[in-house]
Amino acid sequence: MSDLCPEDTVTSRLQYWSVTSPETLAFVYVTPESERYAYSRQELFSLSRRAASWLHQRGVGKKDVLLCLVPTSPEQTFISLGATVLGATTICSMVKYQDGSDIVPLINCGDVTVIVMDQADKQVISTLETFIPNLSAGPVTSQAFPSVKTAIFCNRHPEEEELSFLELISRNQKPELLMQIWTMAMQSYEICPTADGDVIFNGSSLGWISGYPFLYFAFGQTRVVPYVKKSPPDDEDKFLLDVLRQEKVTQLFTSPASLKKLLARNDLLKTPFTWTVRTVIFGGSVFRKEFSRILEKLSVEIRVRYGCTEIGFAAYKVYTDKVQMEDFKCGKPVKGVEIMVVDDNLKEVPPNTKGNIMIKNNGFFSGYLKQPALTAVALPEEGWFRPGDIGWLNDEGEIFIEGRQSEAISIGSFKMFPQPLESHLMKCPGVYDVAVVAIPDKDFENVPCICLVRYPTPEGDEVVPEELIRRCSEYFQESFVHENIEQELGVPKVCLVFDKFPVNSNGKLQRRALRDMAIERLFIRQTEI
């Protein structure tokens, strides 16, 4: 276990790897323009401490809450690790809405004291100026954000004769830190064992459990990160495949949405492979057996992991044969973790009975900041955490995660969970992606609507929306006992075709945004009739 012990901190692990084969690569950033920025273990340790010094000179200290609005890049990594070295808390995020509706609650709920942004990012600066009239480098005041005291600008793309952020921190001195990583590292190792020389591809932000570099701290694993320095690649799938080959990636962590796009590209995958990824790691989305093609094209092993940022990794499943694959199956709990399924009254249900997932709380999570009502729902019983997922345990103790409870569609008194229907519709020829969302109904509050993305390649089968609606009707007839009219209304009557679905930075479907798109599309149609 690379001498990892419970007393280790981020600083101690950075230092450990800096003296253990110091020239071995730690992080590699690859851009669509074929630029490559590589940092050795020694450089990662040195630049993280120097970034801490750079932040400290600008007023950041222990117990500060730093919001980093710099996108995924070397700069984001060193700002995040530097703040951790100082004992500050870091939130990595992005501004997606011009009115700031996405970051206002984040700043106020998190009591953010410091905001770091790219000085060339005009959209971020313009949005923040709405709430911080005196926005400039240094002390700031804001009625909208009472906790914010400091703004820091990061110069990522300097003009002539200016120094970049990376050049500036290389001239700084160094300071120390705090943060236990033992448990997360042990869980990471159980879920995905690592070996000397392993290279992992992971484009997730450091602000998520899936993106935080536990594997580097614990095992010194080289990490490859896609780095959009200028504009996104014209062909994202080709860029991903080129990076995997170029860097000889052995473990690939990416979103199901990204892999689904890649698997649809027969023009790219027909090229003979001289190398394959040893392990493909899934997380953050419902698993479906349609991903069995990975074992034919990219890898010899799929690892499905289930967990959340609040309490870490909870369960995992290893697949080496596509015959083994089942929709929603996430395997057995990791060591030291207990999972049970309960009804709405928190009473444990028998095996193979669908209900609310409960996970034994490991002590990491004590509640949501300033949100007592939400905390009460998440921690309904002492020692247990409820992530808001729906699923069941089979007779062998394996967990099946069907989806989020918040994604249920209320149709009168009937609650419909869309994931099983979506899984059924994914089997239809020509369907590349599908989601069932709620649209308003004056009589029954909501009714379901099918949202469809057709297979993107010319050789894909043509899919007809009416065919999906017909299959939905058959599915409900086969799956439900018709006890009331709400269940009959659960059969979708509308199917909309989209070029693509909205997803977040980690590839997760944004159902609320898709629902808004569907409502807007239907409203336009009605006004045209």
Q: Which of the 8 DSSP states describes residue 300?
A: S
Mean pLDDT, the chain, rounded, equals 84
Q: Which of the 8 DSSP states describes residue 273?
A: P
**Does the domain formed by 45-170 have CATH 3.30.565.10?**
no
Res 525: pLDDT: 46
Q: How many residues does the chain have?
A: 529
Res 282: pLDDT: 80
User: Does the pLDDT value for residue 177 go beyond 70?
Assistant: no
- The answer to whether the 45-170 and 408-528 domains have the same CATH topology is no
Of 40 and 481, the one with more pLDDT: 40
User: What is d(CA 416, CA 418) in angstroms, rounded to the nearest whole number?
Assistant: 6
Class of domain 408-528: alpha beta
Neighbours of 22 (CB within 10 A): 15
Find, among 343, 74, 54, 363, the residue nearest to 225 by Cα: 74
Cβ-based neighbours of 372, under 8 Å, separated by 6 or more: none
Q: Where are the chain's structural domains?
A: 45-170, 408-528
Of 509 and 128, the one with more pLDDT: 128
Query: Rounded to 5, what percent of the chain is helix, strand, coil?
Result: 30, 25, 45
**pTM of whole model > 0.85?**
no
Token pair, residue 106, equals: 């984040």
- pLDDT, tens digit, for every residue of 229-287? 888 888 888 898 899 989 999 999 877 767 777 877 878 887 766 777 889 888 767 77
Contact assessment for residue 206 and residue 83, using Cβ atoms and an 8 Å cutoff: no
